[in-house]
């Protein structure tokens, strides 16, 4: 009985430690759903000009691990956060649209009172950057970067013939509904172009790590985010009045460069487009030297 009592006490202590650790993790509250707050987990490191890194689907803020040390070495304050539904953030069943995502970003910026920011988005994160600047302006923002961009408008319509057919996204949603883990397999194979880069620029272990992060995301968010990819950013882009960097792989299978990155220079005044020859979608992992060189140049540090 004494052993049983000790085990119960030990389990209670461990649970208490885990709870206290969770409470000490940094969060910003961005809303609520029924009786629970909606909170975004963030990390804030270094000092100097703030750089906010916004991750892609279906990963989290830790996916910037090949960029964060470079930004810190450049003397920057680096902030990453997990989008609602992903990573350590809350997993609500509401708010999966770019107006809300941009408002979430604004809440983080306002809470931390960030100014003279460099906003850097990858994949889905480029939508936050674009909608934030289109909605809230550049009062707190000095520069911005879109890596593997989703703007300007991904859906094929009569006035957007360069876009992708609706049926493609319908197929994605059907696959996710049937078996989201099979969807992740398909997605990451094309995220990394594993048929080209497996064993060279990406390892099986890195692929598995991404899969594990995705598997821990909200099943609701996994599906709901697909519809957000069809957001029309064409009215937001001309409002960007800060220097903008666009970097994309020429072999991007997730967001084809002809439908995305190559169209942005025609919609933004001060923009530089850098194409990474043969690069897949996740150039932040497979081509970090090229990406980091472009980012450090944008930051004014080489």
Q: Is residue 192 part of a domain?
A: yes
Q: Is residue 168 part of a domain?
A: yes
Q: Is residue 99 part of a domain?
A: yes
Q: Which of 90, 123, 210, 218 is catalytic?
A: 123
Cβ–Cβ under 8 Å, residues 127 and 228? yes
Q: Virtual CA dihedral for 152, 119, 294, 191, nearest 10 degrees? A: -60
Whole domain around residue 142: which residue ranges? 42-299
Q: Which of 90, 210, 252, 287 is catalytic?
A: 252
Instruction: Calculate helix-pair angle for 124-136, 98-112, nearest 10 degrees.
Output: 70
Q: Is residue 234 part of a domain?
A: yes
How far is 1 from 10, CA to CA, in rounded Å?
A: 14
Task: Show the 3-state SS of 219-259.
Answer: HHHHHHHHHHCCCECCCCHHHCCCCEEEEEECCCCCCCCCC
End-to-end CA distance of the chain: 66
Q: Is residue 8 part of a domain?
A: no
How far is 291 from 146, CA to CA, in rounded Å?
A: 11
Q: What are the pLDDT tens digits along the chain (302 aa)?
A: 444 554 455 555 555 544 445 557 899 999 999 999 999 999 999 999 999 999 999 999 999 999 999 999 999 999 999 999 999 999 999 999 999 999 999 999 999 999 999 999 999 999 999 999 999 999 999 999 999 999 999 999 999 999 999 999 999 999 999 999 999 999 999 999 999 999 999 999 999 999 999 999 999 999 999 999 999 999 999 999 999 999 999 999 999 999 999 999 999 999 999 999 999 999 999 999 999 999 999 998 54
Sign of the alpha-carbon dihedral angle for 172, 255, 287, 130 = negative
Annotation says 236 is catalytic: no
Q: Is residue 166 part of a domain?
A: yes
Annotation says 210 is catalytic: no
Could you give the number of structural domains in the chain? 1
Taking CA atoms, 53 is separated from 86, 132, 141, in Å, by 15, 14, 13
Distance, CA of 177 to chain centre? 22
Q: Is residue 22 part of a domain?
A: no
Q: Is residue 211 part of a domain?
A: yes
3-state SS class at 39: strand
Cβ–Cβ under 8 Å, residues 283 and 64? no
Q: Which of 60, 82, 218, 281 is catalytic?
A: 281
Annotation says 281 is catalytic: yes
* Residue 78 CB contacts under 8 Å (≥ 6 apart), including other chains: 44, 45, 46, 50, 51, 53, 68, 71, 72
Q: What is the CATH number of the domain that holds 254?
A: 3.40.50.1820
Q: What are phi and psi of 144, to 5 degrees?
A: -150, 155
């Amino acid at each position: 009985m004494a052993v049983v009592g000790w085990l119960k006490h030990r389990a209670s202590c461990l649970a208490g430690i885990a709870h206290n650790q969770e409470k000490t993790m940094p969060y910003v509250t961005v809303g609520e759903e029924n009786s629970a707050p909606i909170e975004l987990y963030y990390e804030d490191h270094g000092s100097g000009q703030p750089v906010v890194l916004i991750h892609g689907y279906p990963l989290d803020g830790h996916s910037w691990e090949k960029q964060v040390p470079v930004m810190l070495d450049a003397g920057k304050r680096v902030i990453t956060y997990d989008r609602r539904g992903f990573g350590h953030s809350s997993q609500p069943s509401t708010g999966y649209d770019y107006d809300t995502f941009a408002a979430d970003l604004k809440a983080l910026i306002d809470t931390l009172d960030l100014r003279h920011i460099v906003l850097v988005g990858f994949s889905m994160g480029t939508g936050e950057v674009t909608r934030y600047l289109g909605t809230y302006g550049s009062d707190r923002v000095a520069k911005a970067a879109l890596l593997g961009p989703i703007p300007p408008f991904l859906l094929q319509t009569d006035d957007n013939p360069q876009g992708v057919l609706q049926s493609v996204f319908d197929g994605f949603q059907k696959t996710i509904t049937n078996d989201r883990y099979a969807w992740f397999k398909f997605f990451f194979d094309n995220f990394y172009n594993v048929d080209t880069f497996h064993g060279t620029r990406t390892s099986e272990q890195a692929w598995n790590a991404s899969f594990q992060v995705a598997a821990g995301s909200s099943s609701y968010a996994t599906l709901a985010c697909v519809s957000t990819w069809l957001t029309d950013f064409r009215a937001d882009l001309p409002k960007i009045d800060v220097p903008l960097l666009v970097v994309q792989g020429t072999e991007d299978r997730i967001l084809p460069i002809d439908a995305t990155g190559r169209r942005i220079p025609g919609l933004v005044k001060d923009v530089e487009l850098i194409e990474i020859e043969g690069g897949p979608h996740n150039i932040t992992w497979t081509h970090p030297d090229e990406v980091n060189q472009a980012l450090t140049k944008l930051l004014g540090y080489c």
